[in-house]
Amino acid sequence: MTNLLDVERLSKRFGSVLANQEISLSVKPGEIVALLGENGAGKSTLVKAVIGLVKPDSGTIRVKGKELPYGDTAGAIARGIGMVHQHFQLVPVMSVTENLILGDEPTKFGLIQMQKARRETAELSKRYGLAIDPDAIIEDLPVGMAQRVEILKALRRDVSLLILDEPTAVLTPQETDELLEVLRNLASKGVGILFITHKLREVMAIADRVVVLRNGKLVGVTSPKESSESQLAQMMVGREVVLHVEKGPGNPTGAALEVRELEVLDDRRLEAVRGISLQVNAGEILGIAGVEGNGQRELVEAICGMRNRRKGKVLVAGKEVPNLKPHEVHAAGVAHIPEDRERHGLVATYSISDNLVLNRFDQEPYAKGWIRDLDAVARNGDELVRRYDIRTPNASAPASSLSGGNKQKTVVARELSQNLPVVVASQPTRGVDVGSEILSLSDRVAVLYGGKIVATFDSKLANRDEIGRLMAGSEGSRS
Amino acid sequence: MKFRLSYFVIISSILLFAYFYSQNSIVTSSVVFTAIPFALPLALAAMVGVMCERTGIVNIGIEGTMLVSAFTAFFLGAILKNITAGLFIGIMTGVLVGLLLSVMTITWKMDQIIAGVIINIMAAGITSFLYRQNFRIPSTFAPIDLPILGDIPVVGPIISDHGPITYLGIIFIFGLWVALYKTPWGLRSRSVGEHPSSADTAGVSVVRLRYLNVTIAGAVGGLAGSYLALEAVGIFERGFTAGKGFTALAIMIFGRWNPLGAFAAALFFGLSQAVTNQLMIDEVVQIPQQFVTMLPYILTILILAISAGKVRPPAAEGIPYEKEKV
Amino acid sequence: MAIMQRVKLQSLSIPLLSLLIAFVVGSILIAMQGSNPLLAYQVLFTKAFGSVEGFATTLAKATPLILSGLAVAICLRAGLFNIGAQGQLISGALASAWAGYSFVGLPFLIHIPLALLFGAFFGSLVALVAGLLKAYRGVHEVITTIMLNSIVIALADYLASTPFKEPDQPITRTPKIEESARIPDIFGLPLGFFIAIAISLAFWWLMRKTTTGFRIETIGRNRSAGWYAGISVKRVIISSMLLGGATAGVAGAVETLSITGRFEPAFNAGLGFDGITVALLARANPLGVIPAAILIGGMRGAASTMQFRAGVAPEIVDLVLALILFFVTAPILLRLLKRKEEGISLSSGWSN
């Protein structure tokens, strides 16, 4: 039987980064292949090359034995490759049906046959057991539903190979289980599945074969039968995996941050945070665990002054911080490492020095009254570059010249160098090569579900599975 | 219940029309009749904006497109002594300007506002440099007496007796509405303007569709310019598009990027000018001419101030598409 | 270091190259019209820069362009495209003319600054409309400023033809300004030129050394980072539009008080629009505006001589300027392409 997909010695370079280096892999009909690797290992680049969204520098891609030209998205689709993207490729303002038919619309006399398309959508969702309203508008759907639309979109085109890029990243454990069931079902119908993930549990549960990437290179092909979870983890990271970060026990000395009965609305003006109260003591790390979209973003934004609080209080070191602008909250003692550093953290064309004073450029000693003290700005820049080991020739280089990790260090340096009583970090390890887990870093973990704290654990006593269940909204046994 | 400003405007316009028609049918008909030539170039120019922005390209160069097309349509029509040839050349000029904008915004990924402004400045520069006096076109396009439709009471005298470009333009506007909402091209265009990577992953070429739409939009801009030179006015003066390309953008926004919405907004605009003119003729009001000149500009600003923030533009508007950043 | 040098060379070479290409294309068009392009350019440049007298004229022509260029440049730095310098300039010109003829008996040390202040105030008033609409209603400044241009032109025409009209004259124009409001020449050069240079230096210093400049620059480069850092986007939008409008108003005032001596609708045509070319040619640098304005002022000043001696329509200058603008901005965006955040980015839809 010919393979559905053969990739041979595929390479792709982005600037100075070799994202893929001579990678080969294959997928057979009915087979589930897991593509495993840390963030930045080159998994997404590889599958985007297969689907034609990235043009590789060298190597061949064959679909059912026939070579596919570089960058030929339409050709890849025509030959039966479907992809479910990590960031949903759905038009938010359009309906489920419109999204499904986009690019391959049923027509009569040049006009779209909307009724027919709607019927087909209903049939398709019934056939694969993925219930969905054909007329629902994408932006009104919850994440799990939107993903169903993504999968249906691929299935509608009679895919023989379905590629999924980190499909479980946004799902609850229960939704994840449902998805894995759907994938098994598809594989049993002969569909080949290439499944990108960095979650070992899913790999063990579903994969027939596992292809492991690290730093753009293929490090091994194995199967769940042949190797254990910790062996896979070691292949992924390239060293013995430390599941606990060395850190001294917290030494709590009274409340640094207190949140009382906080209520916050999200962008759609729906209630996202529903009466949260929490306390973080000085010297303590409180981790917030939750599946995306359960209020953690709104919680952080409301604490840091990026979003209005509808109700409730925030106290820093016992003093109330009213509803303020970000820099005023900062001045009140809350350092913030924002989630979206490209948008909020840095001005790319400014020097590192200027970025390091971005939220205090008008304060002593960086400005005396109306006049900026550029020497003081430069001195501060030099010192922080040294102290926080920001890798750059000098502090006057533009922030855009820094690598992702060093951009993050720049933001961290700015926020931490002032010794403020509270530090709020949103997804601080995003895009940074730290195999960190919320449990190993935190002293306590609060689990958020549906805008409420459903449980708080001492991290030493916490049980991972239980946290997972709580994140998914099932009742916890402790609180 | 949702209050829709557009319904309110339509219904109150009909009621007002009925009232004035009962008072003086001849004058009322003629005012509405003259509203159409005021409205048409604005409506067509707004279609240029709709087509471009629906695929994610901000086109602020409509004014320049109309100006340079009117120029070529008029002068080549005069030199060749053939206004049909002039019309063709005007449309082709629009195509070229559309292509230029496409290259600047899609291939070079220039800032779209700057690209449009440059088109306007280049259009003003080239037309004023090449402008010559004492050229005349043989005639303007003659009005067409619509059979059957023209005999409908009340409505007939208003819609009949306009020139061929007027009818062509109105047919195009309705056709664009159908195309945008009922055909694969429309679905794809709107997807590209809202979320281009979705379209791309579905096998729709973002670049090709944007080129196509911006270029066709250029042709429509050429039609609008030719209309001014060959059907409405019959002459060409330096800078004689007089800001219509910018007013059209306001009309497009007011019409929520919908061809029929924009057409209705343009008719409202045209009507307000026709009414003002009639009031001046009847000496009902004594307004200095300069204030009459100002009216469309003030209306434009007012309309934008009212509708901006309430309307939602195509999400990908103004952003060059980077394929490798999906 | 090498990188810095290359950037500097690049930022100078692109405008120079743009000028060169624009003149070459212009010469083809001149030749197509049956004139000799070399002769035309020779006349143009000899007239503009070849004699002390000619150069003085050039500087006088450059003066309002420096100011209108600054009016566009300062807004560009804040990420705003102020196409409305023309309207702001006319508003300033008319207001200063009114102040120039209405106040009688003032000493020139009071009268001139007062008239300039009138120009600045009324110029900024026009820009304020666009600034407020942008900040509070999200209306794109390009459309509002263009519409305001047309409104101001019509309004000024009305005012000069009715309430402010010179009595007993058939022409639409205001009375002549008092001698005490007239900006004198020093060493054969108009004092206005030095005012313009001083304002350029002030803007350079503002952008480089002050917290206000840093606020404007930050909002221009990354609006959400600026907001996050505690800079009020609304205030920056309004204040930079006010600054731009005031500068354009002063441009009109200086022109009125030193050159034209009264307001007439036909005066000042195109001075604000040339400011766009000046600002983009100078890449929004307050000091770069000076040579850019001198070049364009020289071309404007010598255009009629060129028509007289080489038989080329003076509108060739419009065309060459448009070409310069085209070639100078395309590379801005090549840079945008390579390093995305750099350069000026204005398109973000109509409602934000």
- Per residue, the 3-state secondary structure of chain A, as one string, reads CCCCEEEEEEEEEECCEEEEEEEEEEECCCCEEEEECCCCCCHHHHHHHHHCCCCCCEEEEEECCEECCCCCHHHHHHCCEEEECCCCCCCCCCEHHHHHHCCCCCEECCEECHHHHHHHHHHHHHHCCCCCCCCCEHHHCCHHHHHHHHHHHHHHCCCCEEEEECCCCCCCHHHHHHHHHHHHHHHHCCCEEEEEECCHHHHHHHCCEEEEEECCEEEEEECCCCCCHHHHHHHHHCCCCCCCCCCCCCCCCCEEEEEEEEEEECCCCCEEEEEEEEEEECCCCEEEECCCCCCHHHHHHHHCCCCCEEEEEEEECCEECCCCCHHHHHHCCEEEECCCHHHHHCCCCCEHHHHHCCCCCCCCCCEECCEECHHHHHHHHHHHHHHCCCCCCCCCCEHHHCCHHHHHHHHHHHHHCCCCCEEEECCCCCCCCCCCCHHHHCCEEEEEECCEEEEEEECCCCCHHHHHHHHCCCCCCCC
Report strand pairing: A371-372 vs A367-368. Answer: antiparallel
The predicted pLDDT at position B220 comes to: 97
Is B47 strand, coil or helix?
helix
Q: If you average pLDDT over residues C181-185, what whole number do you get?
A: 88
Q: Which residues numbered 306-325 in C keep a CB inside 8 Å of some CB on B?
A: 313, 315-316, 318-323, 325
**Is position C260 within any domain?**
yes
Mutate to test the interface with A, among B176, B201, B204 (most CBs of A within 10 A): B201
User: Which A positions 110-129 lie with beta carbon below 8 A of chain B?
Assistant: 110-112
**pTM of the model as a whole:** 0.83
d(CA A205, CA A195): 12
Q: Given CB atoms, is A151 within the 8 Å cutoff of chain B?
A: no
B304·C143 Cβ contact <8 A: yes
Better pLDDT: C139 or C67: C67
- Say if residues A219 and A213 touch (Cβ distance below 8 Å): yes
d(CA A10, CA A46): 8
Please report, in angstroms and rounded to a whole number, the separation of the first and last CA atoms in chain C.
Answer: 39
- The chain B residue lying nearest A88, using CA atoms, is B198
Q: Total domain count for chain C? A: 1
Q: The tokens 């390479």 sit on which residue?
A: A11
Cα(B214)–Cα(B180) distance, integer angstroms: 14
pLDDT value at C1 more than 80: no
- The arithmetic mean of pLDDT across residues C307-326, rounded, is 85
What percent of chain C lies above the pLDDT cut of 90? 46
- Indicate the residue of B183, B198, B315 with minimum beta-carbon distance to A102: B198
Question: What mean pLDDT comes out for the span B74-99?
Answer: 96
Rounded CA gap, A301 and A285, in Å? 18
Average pLDDT of the residues in C247-264: 93
The pLDDT value recorded for residue B57 is 95
Beta bridge partners of A6: A26, A62
What lies within 8 Å, CB to CB, of C346 at 6+ separation is B111, B113, B114, C79, C80, C81, C142
* Separation of first and last alpha carbons in chain B: 40
Asked if residue C6 is part of any domain, the answer here is no
Which chain C positions have a beta carbon within 8 Å of A358's beta carbon? 218, 225, 229
**Ranges A169-178, B238-247, C184-193: which has the least confidence:** A169-178
| Token pair belonging to A109 | 């006399």
Q: Which structural domain, as residue segments, surrounds residue C110? A: 64-275
Q: What is the pLDDT of residue C8?
A: 47
Q: Does C9 touch chain A (CB under 8 A)?
A: no
CB atoms A104 and B183 under 8 Å: no
- Chain C residues within 8 A of B312 when measuring between CB atoms: 351
- CB within 8 Å: B114 and C142: no
Domains of chain B, first to last: 37-141+161-316 (1.10.3470.10)
Query: Measured between beta carbons, which residues in chain C are less than 8 angstroms from residue B314?
Result: 349
Contacts with B, C 114-153, CB within 8 Å: 129, 133, 137-140, 142-144, 146-148, 150-151
d(C-alpha C53, C-alpha C45), whole Å: 13
d(CA C289, CA C136): 31
CA distance C257 to chain B (A): 26
Which of C146, C345, C350 has its CB closest to that of B313? C350
Q: How distant is the Cα of A322 from the closest Cα of chain C, in angstroms?
A: 16
Q: State the Cα–Cα distance between residues C266 and C264, nearest whole angstrom.
A: 6
Question: Which residues of chain B neighbour C318 with C-beta distances below 8 Å?
Answer: 124-125, 128-129
Inform me whether the C-beta atom of residue A64 falls under 8 Å from chain C C-beta atoms.
no
Nearest chain C residue to A366 by CA: give it. Answer: C211
Classify residue C188: in a domain, yes or no. Answer: yes
Selecting from A326, A367, A371 the residue whose C-beta is nearest the C-beta of C228 gives A326
pLDDT tens column, B20-77:
888 888 888 888 899 999 999 999 999 999 999 999 999 999 999 999 999 999 999 9
Task: Report chain B residues whose CB lies below 8 A from the CB of C334.
Answer: 108
* Cα(A443)–Cα(A438) distance, integer angstroms: 9
Instruction: Please indicate whether, in this complex, the C-beta atoms of A92 and B204 are within 8 angstroms of each other.
Output: no
Q: Which residues of C touch B250 (CB under 8 A)?
A: 143
- Would you state the pLDDT for residue B9? 72
B-chain residues within 8 Å CB-CB of C146? 243, 246
Chain A: touching chains (3 or more CB pairs < 8 Å): B, C
- Could you report the per-residue pLDDT of B6-24, keeping only the tens digit for each? 677 778 878 888 888 888 8
For residue C230, which residues of chain A lie inside 8 Å, CB to CB?
325-328, 330, 359
CA distance B37 to chain A (A): 32
> Which residue from C222, C226, C228 is facing A348, i.e. has the nearest CB?
C222
Whether the ipTM is more than 0.90: the answer is: no
3-state secondary structure of B269: helix
Residues of A in contact with C340 (CB under 8 A): 348
Q: Are B249 and B49 in contact (CB under 8 A)?
A: yes
- By the 8 A CB rule, do A153 and A88 touch? no
HEC-encoded secondary structure of chain C: CHHHHHHHHHHHHHHHHHHHHHHHHHHHHHHHCCCCHHHHHHHHHHHHHCCHHHHHHHHHHHHHHHHHHHHHHHHHHCCCCCCCHHHHHHHHHHHHHHHHHHCCCCCHHHHHHHHHHHHHHHHHHHHHHHHHHHHHHCCCHHHHHHHHHHHHHHHHHHHHHCCCCCCCCCCCCCCCCCHHHCCCEECCEEHHHHHHHHHHHHHHHHHHHEHHHHHHHHHHHCHHHHHHCCCCHHHHHHHHHHHHHHHHHHHHHHHHHHHHCCCCCCCCCCHHHHHHHHHHHCCCCCCCHHHHHHHHHHHHHHHHHHHHHHCCCCCHHHHHHHHHHHHHHHHHHHHHHHCCCCCCCCCCCCCC
Distance, in Å, from the CA atom of C194 to the CA atom of B116, rounded to the nearest integer, reads: 34
Q: What residues does A335 pair with on adjacent strands?
A: A423
CA distance C266 to C74: 27
Mutate to test the interface with A, among C210, C218, C222, C342 (most CBs of A within 10 A): C222
pLDDT along chain A (479 residues), means of 10: 88 82 91 85 87 89 90 86 86 94 91 94 85 89 83 86 84 77 87 85 87 88 84 72 52 79 82 88 82 78 86 86 80 83 80 90 88 93 90 87 81 86 73 46 79 80 66 50
C50-61: pLDDT as tens digits: 888 888 889 999
Supply A455's token pair: 């449980």
Pairing of strands C185-186, C189-190: antiparallel
Cross-chain residue pair A93–B204, CB shorter than 8 Å: no
3-state secondary structure at position B313: coil
Which positions ≥6 away from A208 have C-beta within 8 Å? A31, A32, A33, A223
Cα dihedral B52, B54, B60, B63 sign: positive
pLDDT at residue B94 tops 80: yes
Is C251 contained in some domain? yes
* CA distance to partner chain C, nearest, from residue B156 (Å): 35
Going by C-beta distance under 8 Å and a sequence separation of 6 or more, which residues neighbour residue B133?
A: none
Q: How confident is the model at residue C339 (pLDDT cuts 50, 70, 90)?
A: very low
Q: Which residue has the higher pLDDT, A291 or B119?
A: B119
- HSE-up of residue C246 (Cα within 13 Å, Cβ side): 13
What residue ranges define each of the domains in chain A, with the CATH number in brackets? 5-237 (3.40.50.300)
Q: Which residues of B276-315 are buried (b: 16+ CB within 10 A; e: fewer)?
A: beeeeeeeeeeeeebebbbbbbebbbebbbebbeebebbe
Contacts of A76 (CB under 8 A, 6+ apart): A50, A51, A52, A63, A68
Asked whether residue C131 is domain-assigned, the answer is: yes
Token duo for residue A85: 């993207």
C-alpha to C-alpha distances, B34 to B160, B187, C73, nearest whole angstrom: 11, 35, 43
Residues C214-231 have pLDDT tens digits of 999 999 888 888 888 888
Q: Which of A349, A355, A366 is most worth mutating to test chain C (most C CB atoms within 10 A of its CB)?
A: A349
Distance CA A333, CA A324 (A): 12
Distance from CA of A52 to the nearest CA of B (A): 9
Cβ-based contacts of C209 with chain A (< 8 Å): 371-372, 374
CB contact under 8 A, C341 and A348: yes
Facing residues of A372 across strands? A367
Which residue among C143, C277, C346 sits closest to B114, beta carbon to beta carbon?
Answer: C346
* pLDDT band per the 50, 70, 90 thresholds, residue B211: very high
Contact at 8 Å (CB) between A97 and A121?
Answer: yes
For residue A304, give the chain C residue with the closest CA.
C228
What's the CA gap between C45 and B308, in Å, rounded?
Answer: 48
Q: Using CB atoms, which residue from C209, C229, C339 is nearest to A358?
A: C229
The answer to whether position C282 is within a domain reads no
